[in-house]
Chains A and B, each alone.
Chain A
Amino acid sequence: MREFDLLEPATVAEASRMLAALGDDARFFAGGTALMLGMRQRMLAPTHLVSLAGIEAMRGITFDAVQGLRIGALARHADVAASPLVRRHFPVLASMAARVANPQVRNQGTVGGNLCYGDPSTDPPGCLLALDARVVLGSARGERELPLEAFLVDFFQTALEPDELLVEIRVPPMATGSAGVYTRFLRTAAEHRPLASVALVARRDGLLCREARIAVGASTPVATRVRRAEAFLEGRSMNADAVREAAAIVAADIDPVADARGDGAFRRRMVQVVAGRTIAELFGIDIDMEDTEGARA
């Protein structure tokens, strides 16, 4: 790892000015789990790291019945998984956070860092999309708030301006009757990064789906909501056939990535299986997705 200077601002404005002055020679440093890897592999060689550890305004997890959940960008995956507020009001988010990577990385990596890195092969982006999360971006110029969907632009690309940092994540309260399920698929139990993931948050009356947000992660260049599947689900009385049909729409509408872990066709089929399991679980429908036509590898 090449030499660098460590800078330690105490406020968002100070950090923003440092990054604006140093440009591409500097990187923000939160938990460091992704950044250290990039630097050790010499994919990144910043001359300055701007540590965010001293910015108190970016810490903490709070909940308000009207505003919903506020997650400081420096909250670690372990903090989200263990937070009584998250566990009570957003159990799907706590359950997702408890599965990220491994215990060590959950104790080191931050939710903000995860979103800013823009790596699709991770768990938080898809789950937060299904929860309709928004992000607050701060700089010396002030703050702006964006839907997470607008923040996640493309493969390793976000809407951050060169002087901006992600300050907090906001999740609106779940409506009465809402529930969420997050499912991830790994090729082997030893993998730390999902190959495919599907998150579903739906408001329902028994088997009647009133409202749905469904997002695919890890198998697409950027976590993606599948609007046609949401429209299919909304207003529908769910049964095993409807689950299969919805899963087929999810699989058909994504633009899958292809890499050493799986080609596009394999990923599309795994997304279909995972989507079916996710939808079936949320509505309490017993279904074997591996029997679904087209889902056989």
Chain B
Amino acid sequence: MSEHHIECIVNGEAVSVQRVPARRLLSDFLRDDLHLTGTKRGCETGICGACSVRVDGEVVKSCLMLAVQVRGRAVQTVEGLAQGDQLHPLQDSFMQCGGLQCGYCTPGFLMAACAMLETDPNPSAEAVRHGLNGNLCRCTGYTQIVESVLDAAEKMRHGN
């Protein structure tokens, strides 16, 4: 079994881990090697999106990706959203609008929504639903998640 040296940027900080087995999934690398447990393992079959993170700004499912695939790239997890004590507008809106109940899917939704709002800062409700169709939530029925994202989009457009 081959082992690899992984050097990448995670939430703005340089990371270097020696002897990572080729079969290590990105989700396991983040949680077990880097102890960033905000990223959740849900279905682990590419369906639920709870493991969504951003790689070079794009949202991906970290259970469908090997850790070796992020060598030389920049990864952002939910731990990288807040600036110190200042929550990201999406995090704030999910709290204000009731965009979560159990919260297990929330990190994945936040990362997918964050990537979506960068390419489409003023989405319609329909566009939000379409942009989040790689993520499942079994609690909220989605309505409040869509409201949360629209609320955050408005705050972000007004420079908050």
Contact = CB atoms under 8 A, between A and B. Distances in A.
A binds B: yes
Interface of A: 1-7, 32-33, 36-37, 40-41, 49, 51, 53, 78, 101-105, 107-108, 189-190, 192
A32 B65 contact: yes
Contacts of B49: 102, 104
Interface in B13-33: 21-23, 25
Nearest to A51: B68
A interface secondary structure, majority: mixed
A219 B81 CA distance: 42
Nearest to B45: A37
Contacts of A32: 64-66, 69
A44 to B, nearest CB: 13
B17 to A, nearest CB: 15
A108 B61 contact: yes
Nearest to A53: B69
Contacts of A36: 25, 46, 63-66
Main secondary structure of the interface of B (DSSP, over half): mixed
Contact of B1 (A3, A33, A41): A3
A207 to B, nearest CB: 32
Contacts of B63: 36
Interface residues of B, number: 32
Given A102-B135, A108-B60, 16 more contacts: A1-B23, A2-B23, A3-B1, A3-B21, A5-B1, A5-B22, A6-B66, A36-B25, A36-B46, A36-B64, A53-B69, A103-B131, A104-B59, A104-B64, A108-B64, A190-B136
Nearest to B49: A104
Interface string B124-160: 0000000101111000000000000000000000000
A114 to B, nearest CB: 14
A101 B47 CA distance: 10
A5 B2 CA distance: 5
22 contacts: A2-B23, A4-B23, A6-B4, A32-B65, A36-B46, A36-B64, A40-B44, A101-B134, A103-B59, A103-B112, A103-B133, A103-B134, A104-B61, A104-B64, A105-B46, A107-B58, A107-B59, A107-B60, A108-B64, A190-B136, A192-B133, A192-B134
B115 interface: yes
B45 A6 contact: no
